[in-house]
Structure 1
Amino acid sequence: MHQKRSYILSLLVVFLLSPFFLKAQISEFRDSVIQISGLTMTADSLRAIPAVSILVKGQGRGTISNTAGIFSIVLFKGDTLSFSAVGFKKQDYKVPVDIKGNNFSLIQLMVEDTTYLPVTIIKPYLSKQEFERAFANMDIPDDAYEVARKNTENARIRAMTRYTPVDGGEATNQYLNKQAQSLYYAGQRPPQNIFNPLAWAQFIQAWKQGDFKRKDDY
C-alpha cells in the first residue's frame, strides 16, 4: 500500500512539473535558433557579389544571395556557413554558440581567386613556301552562305526533285487532283494534250532542263 502511494505521488509530481520542463525545452530550442541576414561583398572594392551559394555544412541546405548580394538564412548556433562563388575563394563562417539573441547581421567579404592558365607558345611556319603550301591545301569548312548557295543550285534542285519521294501533303494533293479530274470528265472523253500548245511548251522546257535524262547521267 505504501509503495502504491509513492508511485501515485511520483506520477502526480511529474504531471505537475511537466509543463515547466516542456516550457524550458521550448525556450532552450528557441534560444538555439538564429536568423542571419547579411551581404556578400568583394574584399578589395566592397562591391556586392550576386549569386553566392551559401550552404549550412553537414545539413545539405542553404540559400543564394540575390542580385544585390543580400541573403538571409535560419540555422542553429554553432553551425558553419560555407560561402562559394565562381571566381572567388571559398569562405567559411562558424556561428558562435554563445551569441546573444536570435538575429544577427553579417557582411561576408570574399577574395577573388586568380586562375593561371598554362603557357601557350605560338610558332610560325619554318618558311614562306611551307606556309603557302599549307594555306593552299587547307580544308576550310563552308560557311552558311556557301552551304545555302550549294543547296540552291539548279542542277542539285533538279536532281533532288527526281529522287526525293513526295511527302504526305503532296501525295494527298496529287490524289485529290486526279480524283477531281476524273470526276470533271466523267461520262465524256478527256481532251488530248497533243494539240495543246501550253502542254508542248511545258514539255520543251522540261526537256531543256534535262528532266528526261537517265539516272546514270547524274
Structure 2
Amino acid sequence: MKRHLLLAVLFAVAFPFLANAQFEKLKDSVVQLYGVVMTADSLKGIPSVSITIKGEKRGTQTNEQGVFSIVVQKGDIIEFTSIGYKPKLAEIPRDLEGNQYSLLQLMVTDAEYLPVTIIKPRPTKEQFERDFVNVPVPDDDLETARKNNDESKRRVLAKTLPRDGGENSNMLLQNGARRATYYGQAPPQNIFNPFAWGEFIKAWKRGDFKNNK
C-alpha cells in the first residue's frame, strides 16, 4: 500500500514537468510558414493556388497577389497545385532554427496539346436533306419489342433462353414420373411414334434446324 502511495505522489510531482517538456517540444516544432507563389517565366503572383500539407486534410490558398500563410511543422512536405501549372513540392527543414520560415515558390505552366480540329463550312440545303434522310436512326424500345415478337426471332430466343426454376422443377418431376411408369421394362422409342414424326416434320418445315449463323 505504501509503495503504491509513493508512486502516486511521485507521478503527481513529475507530471507537470513532463507535460511542460512535451509542450515545449511541440511548441518548438510548430512553424509559421508564409511566402509567395509566382510564375517562373514572368514572376507574377498566382492567385487561388491550393497549398496543402501532404498526408493531412489541412491547407490554404493564395490571395490575389499570390501571398499565403499557414501553420506547419518541421519536416512537413507542402504541396502546391493549381490548374494550368505543374504541381510542386517543398519540404520544411527539420533542423530549422526558430519558428518562422519564408518561401518563394515558382510554378511552371503545364502545356496541354489538344488534337487538331477541322472546321468545315455549313452544308447546303440539298446536302442536309440527303444526310437527314439517309442517317441511320437507332431502334427505340417499341421497335425493338416488335422485332423480338417476330416468329423467327422468338424461335432463336427460345433456343438460347435458359430455363427458370419452375421449368427445371417440372422437367425433373416429369422425368421421375416417366421412370416410375416404365420401371422394370424398356421405355418406348419415339422413332416408332407417328406423332413424334409429325412434330419433327412440322419443325423441319418451319426451319427450326437451320443454322442461324
TM range, normalised to the smaller chain? 0.5 to 0.7
State which of 28, 36, 42 in structure 2 corresponds to 1:31.
Answer: 28
Q: Distance in 1 between matches of 2:110 and 2:100?
A: 31
Moved more, 107-116 or 13-22: 13-22
Q: Is 1:58 the equivalent of 2:55? A: yes
> Letter of the aligned partner of 2:95 in structure 1?
D
Q: Is 1:21 the equivalent of 2:18? A: yes
Deviation readout 1:106-128 (Å, 9 max, x if unpaired): 11110011110112245679xxx
Shift of 1:70: 0.4
Shift of 1:134: 4.1
Which residue pairs with 1:111 in the alignment? Answer: 108
> Letter of the aligned partner of 1:87 in structure 2?
G
Shift of 1:36: 0.4
Q: Distance in 2 between matches of 1:53 and 1:70?
A: 12
Shift of 1:22: 1.0
Shift of 1:131: 5.6
How many residue pairs get aligned? The number is 132
SS in 2 for 1:50: coil
Cα RMSD for the two superposed structures: 2.8
Shift of 1:90: 0.7
> Letter of the aligned partner of 2:6 in structure 1?
L
Compute the TM-score of the two structures, normalised by the length of structure 1: 0.53
SS in 2 for 1:83: strand
Which residue pairs with 1:67 in the alignment? Answer: 64
Q: Distance in 2 between matches of 1:101 and 1:43?
A: 29
> Letter of the aligned partner of 1:112 in structure 2?
T
SS in 1 for 2:86: coil
Q: Distance in 1 between matches of 2:48 and 2:131?
A: 45
Q: In 2 relative to 1, CA 10–135 (structure 1 residues): closer, same or farther, beyond 3 Å?
A: closer
Deviation readout 1:26-72 (Å, 9 max, x if unpaired): 00111111110010001122111111111112211211100010000
Shift of 1:25: 0.4
Aligned-residue identity in percent: 45
Which residue pairs with 2:4 in the alignment? Answer: 7
Q: Distance in 2 between matches of 1:7 and 1:123?
A: 92
- Could you tell me which runs of 5 or more consecutive residues in structure 2 were left unpaired when the two chains were aligned: 133-213
SS in 2 for 1:63: strand
Superposition pairs of residues 63-212 of structure 1, within 5 angstroms: 63-122=60-119, 133-134=126-127
Deviation readout 1:144-171 (Å, 9 max, x if unpaired): xxxxxxxxxxxxxxxxxxxxxxxxxxxx
> Letter of the aligned partner of 2:108 in structure 1?
V
Shift of 1:13: 2.3
SS in 2 for 1:34: strand
- Could you tell me which runs of 5 or more consecutive residues in structure 1 were left unpaired when the two chains were aligned: 140-218
> Letter of the aligned partner of 1:27 in structure 2?
E
Compute the TM-score of the two structures, normalised by the length of structure 2: 0.54
Q: Distance in 1 between matches of 2:39 and 2:129?
A: 52
Which residue pairs with 1:181 in the alignment? Answer: none
